[in-house]
Amino acid sequence: MRAPIRLLLGLCAGIALSLAACERRAPPEQTAAAPVAIGGPFHLVDQTGHPFTHRDLLGKPTAIFFGFTFCPEVCPTTLADMTRWLAALGPDGNRVNVVFVSIDPTRDTPAVLKQYLGNFDPRIRGLTGTEAEIATTAREYRIFYRKVPLPGGGYTMDHTAGVFLFDRTGKFAGVISYGGDPNRGVAPLRHLLNP
């Protein structure tokens, strides 16, 4: 039960000075007996423009990653990794949700997501929404993100880079960190499929 707390502390450690994400997210009654929940209600749209909510994830294990299409490295690498995991799972890949949530909804419209995700496994669901809807979703999932202006114009985004796992009931099941063995997500997903 402590893993989620450790995770949150880990996430917060890196951004303690930013005051951006952690303080307002920690429930005041937080104790060892009441772990911080990761994941929660959200109302977004997918890359085809259809509404998609947290309820659509229930019944299957979920791997969810927050990123943005402007991202040159972490995001395409993670999406390629997730594509590889789905291929390795074979038919079982149809029994998991693999989700990419944009933390840059200004640029990542459903149409942009659709084109971008066309490069990866078609089962990967891309989600976006309004700035407020994305902020709510990120808060529920304990995702840190921040817009950073570039000196030459435009901006990039800092963001939590791991893939978050959930079981079929929506209970948080761990994080797959960025980098390392490109196949590192296959075993955890198999485990969630066959608990």
Positions in the binding site for another protein (CB under 8 A): 10-11, 13-15, 69-74, 76-77, 79-81, 83-84, 87, 112, 115-116, 118-121, 144, 148, 150-154, 156, 158-162, 175, 177-184
SS3 167: coil
Structure tokens at 72: 């040159």
Rounded to a whole number of angstroms, the minimum distance from the CB of residue 21 to another protein is: 10
* Cα diameter, the chain: 50
CB of 193 to another protein, least distance (A): 20
Residue 175 dihedral angles phi and psi, to the nearest 5°:
-125, 135
* 28 vs 90, beta carbon nearer another protein: 90
For residue 129, the minimal CB distance to another protein (Å) is: 19
The Cα–Cα gap between 167 and 74 comes to: 24
User: Which is nearer to another protein, 125 or 168 (by Cβ)?
Assistant: 125
Q: Distance of alpha carbon 136 from its chain centroid, rounded?
A: 13
Residue placing its CB nearer to another protein in the complex, 28 or 151: 151
Nearest distance in Å: CB 190, another protein: 18
Q: Which is nearer to another protein, 72 or 195 (CB)?
A: 72
Is residue 168 a contact partner of residue 40, using CB atoms and an 8 Å limit?
A: no
State how far the Cα of 112 lies from the Cα of 110, in Å rounded to an integer.
6
Q: Please identify, using beta-carbon distances, which residue of 51 and 180 lies nearer to another protein.
A: 180
Minimum distance of another protein from residue 144's CB (angstroms): 6
State the DSSP H helix or E strand holding residue 130, giving kind and residue range, or none if neither.
none
Spatial separation of the C-alpha atoms in residues 8 and 187, rounded to whole Å: 23
Q: Are strands 51-53 and 43-46 parallel, antiparallel or unpaired?
A: antiparallel
Q: Which two tokens stand for residue 62?
A: 């979920």
Pick 42 or 116: Cβ nearer another protein: 116
**Least CB distance from residue 13 to another protein, whole Å?**
5
